[in-house]
Amino acid sequence: MNNKGALLSHSVEIEIPFHDCDPMNVVWHGNYPRYLEIARCELLRIFDYDYLQMKDSGFAWPIVDMQIKYVASAVFTQKIKVAAYLKEYENRLRIDYVITDAISNKRITKASTTQVAVEISSKEMQFVSPPILYEKLAPFLK
């Protein structure tokens, strides 16, 4: 999982808060999806299609698959960089992530999420991305 072939990318820096850690000051594994969510929202905002715009367009985009590989541990007060890479958009949104130490750039976690469009009114999953996504991404397509 890397940035090769990514249409768009964005990264955010996060300082690990105490409440995300277990008694050993290590980030509990269940908190990593929240870090991915922060980076994903910032990435979606680049092309003006964050969750509010999705809802306004008549579509929900639930995550249907998430893969996470824990390589090292993040700890209390550590600054991490969460990079998100938009890899697919035609039939689904696939975003890859790499979490690294913000100072050393040492890899901590890699992950990917897959989201599909669901028409809100009918609750039907769409097997191709709706036209609104193409409209939002048009300025970035080559």
Q: What is the pLDDT of residue 2?
A: 56
Q: Is residue 1 over pLDDT 60?
A: no
Contact 100, 107 (CB under 8 A): yes
- The count of domains in the chain is 1
Q: What is the mean pLDDT of residues 109-137?
A: 97
CATH number for position 127: 3.10.129.10
Query: Which tokens belong to 105?
Result: 């750039």
Query: Which tokens belong to 38?
Result: 């922060």
Q: Is residue 34 over pLDDT 90?
A: yes
Q: Which domain holds residue 116?
A: 8-137
pTM of the model: 0.94
pLDDT tens-digit series, residues 40-93: 999 999 999 999 999 999 999 999 999 999 999 999 999 999 999 999 999 999
The CA distances from residue 140 to 6, 47, 52, 57, 79, in Å, are 11, 8, 21, 20, 30
**Structural domain includes residue 3:** no
**Structural domain includes residue 1:** no
**Structural domain includes residue 112:** yes
